[in-house]
């Protein structure tokens, strides 16, 4: 089934700060439940309880579970994309790549459950993401890749395939959210700390930039 990603209640009631606060609480509770139980195993009633709202109130903001699920996916996609939206051929390649890597790592630290929900959705076939991966998204992707092509043509970075570079940027930064359990087993820790994410970001910056023939702006 294909569903519009904007299929949730935007009627404006209740409005203002109360609406924003409640939507944030709902999204957070939904992330917890979807990450733990998946789309099919999650109920609106449980989300409402965890958000501290009556179930009836939940439907002021999201008309159904699918609309809420899509809102969670949309939130994380918009965060990820926003870090790359303004990429320009006039940017310094090393600065732009480092800035993006560190931003994505911060998103992985702050929103690990949303990242895992996205990963599970894609692994299961991306049924509910078909509205996102449309022609507009392909144009967005090609726009990022064209910037790398321009830098390469100008001799500002080593010749690498932009498509695979973008895939590497995505996967390496999201790994620390999606596979935190595996990393913690190796590191023998109970959870990843801010320091762990900062150290990982330092290493990714060094590895990826030097693979592109660039030197990190921040010496690590």
d(CA 183, CA 53): 35
pTM for this prediction: 0.84
Q: Which domains does the chain have, with CATH numbers?
A: 16-70 (1.10.10.60), 83-211 (1.10.357.10)
- Residue 92 is predicted with a pLDDT of 97
For residue 11, the 8-state DSSP code is S
Q: How many CA atoms lie within 13 A of 185 on its CB side?
A: 3
Per-residue pLDDT of the chain (220 residues; tens, 9 = 90+): 333 434 444 444 445 788 888 888 999 999 999 999 999 999 999 999 999 988 888 888 998 999 999 999 988 999 899 999 999 999 999 999 999 999 999 999 999 999 999 999 999 998 888 888 888 999 999 999 999 999 999 999 999 999 999 999 999 999 999 999 999 999 999 999 999 999 999 999 999 999 999 999 875 5
- Residue 2 is predicted with a pLDDT of 35
d(CA 80, CA 77): 5
């Amino acid at each position: 089934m294909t569903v519009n990603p904007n299929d949730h209640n935007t009627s404006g009631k209740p409005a203002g700060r109360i609406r924003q606060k409640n939507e944030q609480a709902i999204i957070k509770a939904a992330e917890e439940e979807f990450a733990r139980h998946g789309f099919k195993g999650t109920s609106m009633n449980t989300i409402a309880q965890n958000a501290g709202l009556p179930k009836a109130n939940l439907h002021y903001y999201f008309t159904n579970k699918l609309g809420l699920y899509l809102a969670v996916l949309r939130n994380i996609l918009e965060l990820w994309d926003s870090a790359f939206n303004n990429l320009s051929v006039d940017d310094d390649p090393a600065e732009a790549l480092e800035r993006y890597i560190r931003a994505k790592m911060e998103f992985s630290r702050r929103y690990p459950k949303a990242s895992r929900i996205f990963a599970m959705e894609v692994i299961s076939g991306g049924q509910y993401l078909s509205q996102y991966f449309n022609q507009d998204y392909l144009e967005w992707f090609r726009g990022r890749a064209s910037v790398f092509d321009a830098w390469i043509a100008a001799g500002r970075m080593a010749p690498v395939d932009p498509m695979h570079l973008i895939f590497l940027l995505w996967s390496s930064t999201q790994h620390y959210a999606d596979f935190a359990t595996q990393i913690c087993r190796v590191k023998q820790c109970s959870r990843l700390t801010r320091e762990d994410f900062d150290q990982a970001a330092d290493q990714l910056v060094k590895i990826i930039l030097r693979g592109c023939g660039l030197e990190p702006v921040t010496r690590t």
